[in-house]
Amino acid sequence: MSERRAHTVRETKETRIECTVTVEGSGRANIELPLPFFRHMIESFVKYSGMDVELSGRGDVEVDAHHLVEDTGLVLGSCVAEALGDRAGIARFGHTYAPLDESLVRCALDYSKRPHVVYEMAALHGRINDFDVSVLHEFVRGYAQTAGISLHLDLIRGDNLHHIAEAAFKALGLATRDALTVIGVGIPSTKGSL
């Protein structure tokens, strides 16, 4: 199989984001974002996904983090989708539980090209430093939409906002790693097409 790699740039009046993804990587992240906690979450996702990701972004964070967080999800997802091409040979499905101290998050996903998100993370509201963690939902939705995945992300338990968020991004990474592993040849569907 040829190297599954892609490069994407998105520029709007609100943000500019550039991303390069290599699916068969080592979990190396080179992330430049002006939101330190969000950067930490992306680094966790990349580390456990096994992909290599170079991503730089800037945006109107003086207004709100929303635009940059959502657009980062859109760009990273579209870059992954491009790198996957027709998705031949991938396992397609992934699921995991990720604990972090008192927090436990479950992730189940399908890289089916049919985006859908069930996000049951009700406790993920509040601020870490000046970052509103509820906006992480926008990243997850944007990523799932453009990567073409059906995604279920559920908080089983947790109290600490940092632990909950990090467990969620680790779970997303681990499930992604399993789903994108090449296990065969051909399109992973009984229909012959995704």
Q: Which has more confidence, 3 or 50?
A: 50
What structural domains does the chain harbor? 5-180 (3.30.230.40)
In the predicted structure, residue 3 carries a pLDDT above the cut 90 = no
Q: CA-CA distance, 87 to 123, in Å (whole number)?
A: 34
Q: What is the largest CA-CA distance in the chain?
A: 48
Give per-residue pLDDT as tens, 66-77: 999 999 999 999
- The mean per-residue pLDDT over the stretch 140-161 comes to 98
Q: What percent of the chain has pLDDT over 90?
A: 92
Given strand 29-32, what is the order of strands in its sheet? Answer: 5-11, 15-22, 52-59, 29-32
Give the pLDDT of residue 77: 98
Give per-residue pLDDT as tens, 95-131: 999 999 999 999 999 999 999 999 999 999 999 999 9
Give the pLDDT of residue 13: 96
In the predicted structure, residue 188 carries a pLDDT above the cut 90 = no
